[in-house]
C-alpha cells in the first residue's frame, strides 16, 4: 500500500511506533514503495492540524477556503469570519478517526465567535486529538505500561472586513503534543512538544451574474501553521510544523428563492522541506538539506524536491466540492480529494448532509474509500452549530 505514516511518536527519538496510515502523506516511508515509485518524505510534527475537523468541510472533499462562512470557518480560512451574518455563535464537531484500524482515536473541535461591530469578528477554537490507549515499550521491548497520548491546539482569531467584498484574518495558535508520558528513549527523557503558530488569510466575495444566473463569486487564501519547530526532548531533533498553503475559489448560484448550488475547488501545498535522496553513506545526492530555518524551509519548499518541478507539482493536492441547499433548510454535499500516489496517495469521495432549523444546524459527513487500501474509509464526522443574534439585512 502507498500509505503515509502517522506516527504517534511523531519524531525518531521515541522507541515506539503506533499507527501507520495514509492520513496525510506528509510523513512517508522513505525508499521505494510497493508500486515501484520513489517516495521522498515531507516530515512534520502534529499532522493532526491538517485534518478537516468539521462535517461541512469534510463532506465537500475538504474544499472550503472560499465557500460561504459558518462558525467553523476559522479551521480553513479565518478571514471568512468577518462576513458571518449573526452576532455570535458556537459549534462542536466530533469524528472517530481511523476507526477501521484503532477503535479509540478521535478528533473533537470546539469553536465560538463574536462580532464586535459590523466589520470585526473575534473567535476562538479548541482542537483535541485523542490517540486512545497505547502500550509503551522500550528498545528491548520491555513493558513500560499503558498511556493515553493526546494533542491539543488552541486558537484565538481576529477577522476584519477591509471593504464590502474583501477581508483579512489571522489566528494565533498554541500547540501542545503529549505523546510519551515522559519516558526515556535513547538515553534521553522525552517531554511534551509545544509550539506557537499563526495563520494568515484573505477572503474575497462579490455578487455577480455568472453563466446567466445570479451568483456569488468568491476566492480565499490561507497560510496556516507558520510557527516554531517542535521537539520532544531537550537535545533531540526538531520538526517543522505542517505549514500549509491553501488557495481556492467558489461559485454560489442563487437559482431561485428555494434552490442554491455552490461549487468549490481548492489547492494545497505543504510549505516544508522535501526530504532529499541520500546515498549509502548518508550523503545528499539529490535535493536540498532539510535542516534549515523555518523561513528558509517555507520559501525553499517550492524548489527543493529532488525530482524538480514535476515532483513539486505532485506535492499539490486537489480538493473539489459541491453543496446544494433547498430553502436554506436542507443541504446535500459531495466532494473528491486527490493526492499523488508518490506523496501519500489519498484519493477518496465524500458525502454529507445538513439540516438547519432556526438557530440550530446539524451536519454529517461520510468518507467513501476502498477499505482494503485506505484506513480512512468509512470515516464519519458530526457537527452541531448554534447561531444567535439578528442577521444583517
Contact of 203 with 212, CB cutoff 8 Å = no
CB-CB neighbours of 279 under 10 Å: 9
What is the phi/psi pair of residue 326, to 5°? -110, 120
CA separation for the pair 9, 35 (Å, rounded): 27
Per-residue confidence band for 23, with pLDDT thresholds at 50, 70 and 90 = very low
Which superfamily is assigned to 31-388 in CATH? Answer: monomeric porin ompg (2.40.160.40)
- For residue 26, pLDDT beyond 80: no
What integer is the mean pLDDT of 123-129? 97
In this predicted structure, what is the pLDDT of residue 67? 96
In this predicted structure, what is the pLDDT of residue 69? 94
CA separation for the pair 186, 97 (Å, rounded): 30
CA separation for the pair 233, 28 (Å, rounded): 23
Q: Kindly calculate the radius of gyration of the chain based on its CA atoms and give it in whole angstroms.
A: 21
How much is the pTM?
Answer: 0.86
What integer is the mean pLDDT of 154-166? 97
Per-residue confidence band for 40, with pLDDT thresholds at 50, 70 and 90 = low
Taking the domains of the chain in order of start, what are their residue ranges? 31-388
CA-based torsion, 202, 216, 62, 31: positive or negative: negative
Per-residue confidence band for 391, with pLDDT thresholds at 50, 70 and 90 = low
Cβ-proximal residues to 14 (8 Å cutoff; 6+ apart), any chain: 179, 180, 183, 185, 190, 232
- Give whole-number Cα distances, 236 to 185, 189, 288, in Å: 10, 10, 21
Each residue's pLDDT tens digit, 298-342: 999 999 999 899 999 999 999 999 999 999 999 999 999 999 988
Within its chain, how far is the Cα of 310 from the centroid? 24
CA separation for the pair 299, 63 (Å, rounded): 24
Per-residue confidence band for 3, with pLDDT thresholds at 50, 70 and 90 = very low
The CA-based angle 227-63-261, given to 5 degrees, is 145
How many angstroms separate the first and last alpha carbons of the chain?
A: 53
In this predicted structure, what is the pLDDT of residue 183? 66
Q: Which of 105-109, 182-186, 242-246 has the lowest mean pLDDT?
A: 182-186
3-state secondary structure the chain: CCCECCCCCCCCCCCCCCCCCCCCCCCECCEECCCCCEECCCCCCCHHHHCCCCHHHHHCCCCCCCCCCCCCHHHCCHHHHHHCCCCEEEEEEEEECCCCCCCCCEEEEEEEEEECCCCEEEEEEEEEEECCCEEEECCCCCEEEEECCEEEEEEEEEEEECCCCEEEEEEEEEEEEECCCCCEECCEECCCEEEEEEEEEEEEEEEEEECCEEEEEEEEEEEEEEECCECCCCCCCCECCCCEEEEEEEEEEECCCCEEEEEEEEEEEECCCCCCEECCCCCEEECCCCCCCHHHHHHHCCCCCCCCHHHHHHCEEEEEEEEEEECCCEEEEEEEEECCHHHCCCEEEEEEEEEEECCEEEEEEEEECCCCCCCCCCCEEEEEEEEECCCCC
What integer is the mean pLDDT of 232-247? 89
In this predicted structure, what is the pLDDT of residue 182? 66
For the chain, what is the mean pLDDT? 85
Classify the phi-psi angles of 219: left when phi > 0, otherwise alpha if psi is within -120 to 50, otherwise beta.
beta
CA separation for the pair 115, 99 (Å, rounded): 37
CA separation for the pair 125, 109 (Å, rounded): 7
Amino acid at each position: 500500500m502507498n500509505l503515509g505514516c502517522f506516527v504517534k511518536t511523531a519524531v525518531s527519538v521515541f522507541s515506539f511506533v503506533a499507527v501507520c496510515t495514509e492520513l496525510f502523506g506528509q510523513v512517508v516511508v522513505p525508499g521505494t514503495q510497493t508500486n515501484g515509485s520513489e517516495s521522498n518524505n515531507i516530515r512534520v510534527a502534529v499532522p493532526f492540524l491538517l485534518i478537516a475537523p468539521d462535517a461541512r468541510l469534510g463532506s465537500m472533499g475538504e474544499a472550503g477556503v472560499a465557500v460561504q462562512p459558518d462558525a467553523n470557518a476559522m479551521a480553513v480560512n479565518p478571514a471568512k469570519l468577518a462576513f458571518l451574518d449573526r452576532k455570535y455563535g458556537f459549534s462542536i464537531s466530533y469524528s472517530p478517526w481511523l476507526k477501521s484500524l484503532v477503535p479509540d482515536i478521535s478528533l473533537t473541535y470546539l469553536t465560538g465567535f463574536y462580532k464586535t461591530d459590523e466589520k470585526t469578528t473575534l473567535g476562538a477554537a479548541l482542537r483535541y486529538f485523542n490517540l486512545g490507549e497505547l502500550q509503551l515499550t522500550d528498545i528491548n521491548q520491555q513493558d513500560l505500561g499503558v498511556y493515553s497520548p493526546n494533542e491539543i491546539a488552541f486558537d484565538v482569531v481576529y477577522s476584519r472586513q477591509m471593504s464590502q467584498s474583501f477581508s483579512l484574518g489571522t489566528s494565533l495558535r498554541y500547540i501542545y503534543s503529549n505523546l510519551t508520558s515522559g519516558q526515556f528513549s535513547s538515553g534521553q527523557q522525552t517531554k511534551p512538544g509545544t509550539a506557537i503558530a499563526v495563520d494568515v488569510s484573505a477572503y474575497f466575495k462579490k455578487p455577480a451574474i455568472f453563466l446567466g444566473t445570479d451568483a456569488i463569486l468568491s476566492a480565499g487564501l490561507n497560510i496556516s501553521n507558520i510557527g516554531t519547530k517542535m521537539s520532544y526532548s531537550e537535545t533531540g531533533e526538531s520538526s517543522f510544523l505542517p505549514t500549509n498553503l491553501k488557495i481556492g475559489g467558489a461559485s454560489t448560484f442563487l437559482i431561485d428563492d428555494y434552490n442554491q448550488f455552490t461549487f468549490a475547488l481548492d489547492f494545497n501545498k505543504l510549505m516544508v522541506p522535501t526530504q532529499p535522496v541520500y546515498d549509502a553513506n548518508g550523503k545528499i545526492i539529490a535535493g536540498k538539506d532539510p535542516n534549515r530555518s523555518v523561513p528558509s524551509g517555507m520559501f525553499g519548499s517550492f524548489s527543493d524536491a529532488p525530482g524538480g518541478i514535476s515532483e513539486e507539482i505532485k506535492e499539490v493536492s486537489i480538493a473539489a466540492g459541491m453543496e446544494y441547499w433547498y430553502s436554506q433548510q436542507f443541504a446535500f454535499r459531495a466532494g473528491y480529494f486527490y493526492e499523488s500516489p508518490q506523496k501519500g496517495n489519498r484519493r477518496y469521495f465524500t458525502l454529507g448532509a445538513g439540516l438547519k432549523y432556526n438557530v440550530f444546524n446539524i451536519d454529517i459527513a461520510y468518507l467513501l474509500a476502498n477499505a482494503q487500501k485506505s484506513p480512512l474509509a468509512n470515516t464519519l464526522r458530526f457537527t452541531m452549530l448554534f447561531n444567535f443574534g439578528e442577521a444583517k439585512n
